[in-house]
């Protein structure tokens, strides 16, 4: 009996670690600051057909309108009305329906640790026109009042967090001056749960929980316990929302990521920092060391982690990372980093999709890192236009449409469930590994050419390299690799090649 109960409990709990993806899909993409209408179109015209599993969208709750419209206004909620710079509720609903209908699911960024900053002021400068008074802690759009915030509970010199080794301060005081919600209150939990259940009823598949480090794991759990199962129009009965918590744990702080494992997955920030160092060859790192990548590098357990090369914060010098983080600005190294991530079995993978901004460093700091998405004179976000060559216009970078990245998203789908196998390295920066008998990838990040014959584990045949080109009809558009009867193949990669790596998989076999 007790064994049975235990199994039931484990079965129920495991759901929030599962991204609920459609069959044969394994990754999500963060379409940072995209309009709901553009996301709906992208699901239908690109993400669905190319095997993307889902989209992380920017916060969906009504937020402050700030001067010059920086991106960070999305992280200053005014109410839980679905009414943002990305569009209104009707457009949000339409997006979820259209994406779900093509098997691409929506994961919403949830800001529930706080409301806007204490200095936001009084007025209706919010995306749906809801009144607020930050000084009085008055948010009638929810409604929240003084009673719903942690002002009395916080014990620090100035109401902010000045010691990250003090877990009480980190959870009960103001992050960056943002009004900290009293999440132990039944009333507050109820308001947040209502918002999340509204999103669930519309058809979303899960949530990113922003600033999770600043919330007590038990408070998060209490809110999650109130959530409904996913909408059965698209999901199986009794499916729980997928949960991933934003906790930046690079070690050395009072709070560790493992405290959050009971609630769902957690962002593994060490991943991008360390892979950035390896690919940049900083600190004596080299790709040969990636042989035991994953838990062997001190990362959280595979089943608990959400991994990414860069995110909307650390690509612009905000929260968690530093100089080693690879971004679209270093496109050559970036493609290698994303390629490695998507080929390697560790973690649930998220691809970043950004907009361009005029990065400008003064004393090592990018003074333009506040800049919001491409926008029109009236502050509305510019639409994502699509060029004839499938790239994006209007300053949208669309990393997810870079052919090498798109093809590696497909690679990951093809090799899903296959073991890490046939590792090879030259003790320097040339490495190769396979995924069972389904796929194989080879990198040359050394300063000299590579010409090696390696055991791939793949069935004999001719394969199209999906990095330099891809399979189209019965032909390869660029490099072709032939695997012999013994499973071995010759790889020649010039160190000066724009993309010094090669990837093959069984769905790109001629």
Q: State yes or no: is 246 an active-site residue.
A: yes
15 Cβ neighbours under 8 A, 6+ residues apart? 238, 239, 240
What track of x and - describes contact with Ca ion for positions 174 through 213 (by CB under 5 A)? Answer: ------x---------------------------------
By the rule CB under 6 A, 313 interacts with ligand QV4:
yes
Interacting stretch for ligand QV4, rule CB under 6 A, among 257-265, 291-299, 318-326, 470-478?
318-326
Q: Which of 111, 115, 392, 398 binds ligand QV4 (CB under 6 A)?
A: 111
The residue assigned the tokens 């798109």 is 406
Measured at the alpha carbon of residue 126, what is the angle toward residues 125 and 127, in degrees to the nearest 5? 135
180 binds, among Ca ion, ligand QV4, none (CB under 5 to 8 A by kind): Ca ion
Interacting stretch for ligand QV4, rule CB under 6 A, among 196-204, 209-217, 258-266, 397-405?
209-217
Shortest Å, Cβ 249 to ligand QV4: 10
178 binds, among ligand QV4, Ca ion, none (CB under 5 to 8 A by kind): ligand QV4
Q: State yes or no: is 73 an active-site residue.
A: no
Q: Is the bond into 30 cis (omega within 30 degrees of 0)? A: no
What's the per-residue H, E or C state across 330-342? Answer: HHHHHHHHHHHHH
Report CA-CA distances (Å) from 432 to 179, 441, 496: 49, 6, 18
By the rule CB under 6 A, 180 interacts with ligand QV4:
no
377: helix, strand or coil: coil
CA 90 – CA 128 distance, rounded (Å): 13
By the rule CB under 5 A, 33 interacts with Ca ion:
no
CA 166 – CA 442 distance, rounded (Å): 45
By the rule CB under 5 A, 268 interacts with Ca ion:
no
| Residue 251, token pair as written in the block | 């070690």
Q: Which of 28, 41, 23, 29 is nearest to 103 (CA)?
A: 23
Angle between helices 186-202 and 89-101 (to 10 degrees): 50
271 Cβ neighbours under 8 A, 6+ residues apart? 299, 305, 307, 308, 309, 341, 347
Judged by CB under 6 A, the number of residues near ligand QV4 is: 20
Which residue, 178 or 200, has its beta carbon nearer to ligand QV4?
Answer: 178
Q: Which of 85, 41, 94 is nearest to 60 (CA)?
A: 85
What track of x and - describes contact with ligand QV4 for positions 234 through 253 (by CB under 6 A)? Answer: ------------x-x-----
By the rule CB under 6 A, 272 interacts with ligand QV4:
no
Q: Which of 63, 85, 214, 350 binds Ca ion (CB under 5 A)?
A: 214
The catalytically annotated residue of 246, 259, 285, 399 is: 246
What track of x and - describes contact with Ca ion for positions 96 through 125 (by CB under 5 A)? Answer: -----------------x------------
Q: Which of 55, 178, 410, 450 binds ligand QV4 (CB under 6 A)?
A: 178
Question: Within 10 A of 438 (CB to CB), how many other CB atoms are there?
Answer: 21
The binding site for ligand QV4 (CB under 6 A) comprises 72, 75-76, 111, 117-119, 175-178, 210-211, 213, 246, 248, 313, 318-320
The binding site for Ca ion (CB under 5 A) comprises 113, 171, 180, 214
Which residues carry out catalysis?
A: 210, 246
């Amino acid at each position: 009996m007790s064994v049975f109960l235990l199994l039931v409990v484990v079965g129920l709990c495991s759901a929030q670690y599962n991204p609920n993806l459609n069959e044969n899909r394994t990754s999500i993409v963060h379409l940072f600051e995209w309009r709901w209408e553009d996301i709906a179109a992208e699901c239908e015209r690109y993400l669905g057909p190319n095997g993307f599993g889902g989209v992380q969208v920017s916060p969906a709750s009504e937020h402050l309108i700030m001067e010059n419209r920086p991106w960070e206004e999305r992280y200053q909620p005014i109410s839980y009305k679905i009414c943002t710079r990305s569009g209104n509720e009707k457009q949000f609903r339409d997006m979820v329906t259209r994406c779900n209908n093509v098997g691409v699911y929506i994961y919403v960024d949830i800001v529930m640790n706080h409301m806007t900053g204490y200095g936001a002021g009084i007025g209706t400068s919010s995306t749906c026109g809801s009144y607020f008074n930050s000084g009085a802690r008055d948010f009638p759009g929810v409604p929240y009042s003084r009673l719903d915030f942690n002002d009395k509970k916080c014990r620090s010199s100035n109401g902010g967090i000045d010691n990250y080794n003090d877990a009480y301060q980190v959870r009960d005081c103001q992050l960056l001056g943002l009004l900290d919600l009293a999440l132990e209150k039944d009333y507050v939990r109820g308001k947040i749960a209502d918002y999340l259940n509204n999103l669930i009823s519309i058809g979303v598949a899960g949530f990113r929980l922003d600033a999770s480090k600043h919330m007590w794991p038990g408070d998060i759990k209490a809110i999650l316990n109130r959530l409904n199962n996913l909408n059965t129009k698209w999901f199986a009965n009794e499916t729980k929302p997928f949960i991933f918590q934003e906790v930046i744990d690079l070690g050395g702080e009072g709070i560790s990521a493992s405290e959050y494992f009971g609630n769902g997955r957690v962002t593994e920030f060490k991943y991008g920092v360390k892979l950035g160092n390896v690919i940049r060859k900083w600190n004596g790192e080299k790709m040969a060391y990636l042989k035991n990548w994953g838990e062997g590098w001190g990362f959280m357990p595979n089943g608990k982690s959400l991994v990414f090369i860069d995110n909307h914060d650390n690509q612009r010098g905000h929260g968690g990372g530093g100089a080693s983080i690879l971004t679209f600005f270093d496109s050559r190294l970036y493609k290698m980093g994303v390629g490695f991530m998507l080929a390697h079995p560790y973690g649930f993978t998220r691809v970043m999709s950004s907009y361009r901004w005029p990065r400008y460093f003064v004393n090592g700091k990018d003074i333009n890192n506040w800049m919001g998405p491409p926008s029109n004179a009236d502050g509305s976000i510019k639409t994502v236009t699509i060029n004839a060559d499938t790239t994006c216009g209007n300053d949208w970078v669309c990393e997810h449409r870079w052919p090498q990245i798109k093809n590696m998203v497909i690679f990951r789908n093809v090799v899903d469930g296959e073991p890490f196998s046939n590792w090879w390295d030259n003790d320097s920066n040339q490495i190769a590994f396979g995924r069972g008998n389904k796929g194989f990838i080879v990198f040359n990040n050394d300063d000299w050419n590579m010409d090696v014959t390696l055991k791939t584990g793949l069935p004999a045949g001719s394969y199209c390299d999906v990095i330099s080109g891809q399979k189209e009809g019965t032909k390869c558009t660029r490099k072709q690799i032939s695997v012999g009867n013994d499973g071995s193949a010759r790889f020649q990669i010039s160190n000066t090649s724009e993309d010094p790596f090669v990837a093959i998989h069984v769905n790109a076999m001629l």
